Amino acid sequence: MKLVKNENEKLPNKVSDKEAEEAFKTILKWMGEDPSREGLLETPKRVVKAFKEYFKGYSEDPKSILEKTFGDVEGYDDMVVQKNISVQSHCEHHMAPIIGIAHVAYIPKERVVGLSKLARVVEVFSKRLQTQERLTMQIATTLMESLDAKGVAVTIDSTHQCMTMRGIKKEQATTVTNYYMGQFKEDLSYQNRYLRFIAK
């Protein structure tokens, strides 16, 4: 039986910053550049620093972000919608940027979460190598499970630079993904209201 590693379990860091810098030097040589010229001397170090920011989501646990909730909401039980959350990620096929926006909604059962936490969950999953489909589902399932919500809806609308800068080079192409859970999936009236909200 194949064992599946818990996605929140940190992988051992077997590669040092110095080793990563040497790898980037090799890539510069492969490109036809001279890593020893003045303008590139510090580039490997800068790229390693940048990659730590691009992919910091691997060291963060999105479920821990949602641990603190609030029950003093006087019985509020309608959807909470947060629109236009910026998304900056990288596709796992070409490591090219994915740039777009996410819309997130949930229907609380008894407790709500701080509004900034919704954007933080999007951020954590975005800062990993991704496909947009998986990113959409990861955000939705984490919110549904961690908040014990009645329903969750997530929409991402983004541009993939692996399509705009290489390959087919369709600069205006955008990709939209949706994922619905709970009442959003079971009751089309919730879906329709949500879609109207995010279209405004």
pLDDT value, residue 193:
97
Q: How many whole angstroms separate alpha carbon 166 and alpha carbon 38?
A: 29
At 110, list the tokens: 């008894």
The CATH code that applies to domain 69-199 is 3.30.1130.10
Residue in 164, 189, 187 with CA at minimum distance from that of residue 174: 164
pLDDT at position 200, please?
80
CA distance linking residue 124 with residue 122, whole number of Å = 6
> What is the model's pLDDT at position 10?
56
The pLDDT assigned to 9 comes to 53
Distance of CA 25 to the CA centre of its chain: 29
- The torsion angles phi and psi of 94, rounded to 5 degrees, stand at -125, 0
Taking alpha carbons only, the member of 157, 172, 160 closest to residue 100 is 157
pLDDT at 6: 47
pLDDT value, residue 110 = 86
CA 41 vs CA 20, 47, 53: distances in Å: 14, 11, 21
Catalytic residues: 91-94, 132, 160, 162
Q: Is 24 helix (H, G, I), strand (E, B) or coil?
A: helix
- The domain segmentation of the chain, as residue ranges, is 17-54, 69-199
Token look-up 């236009």 returns 84
Show the CA angle centred on residue 146, arms to residues 92 and 157, nearest 5°: 40
**Residues with pLDDT less than 70, the chain:** 1-13
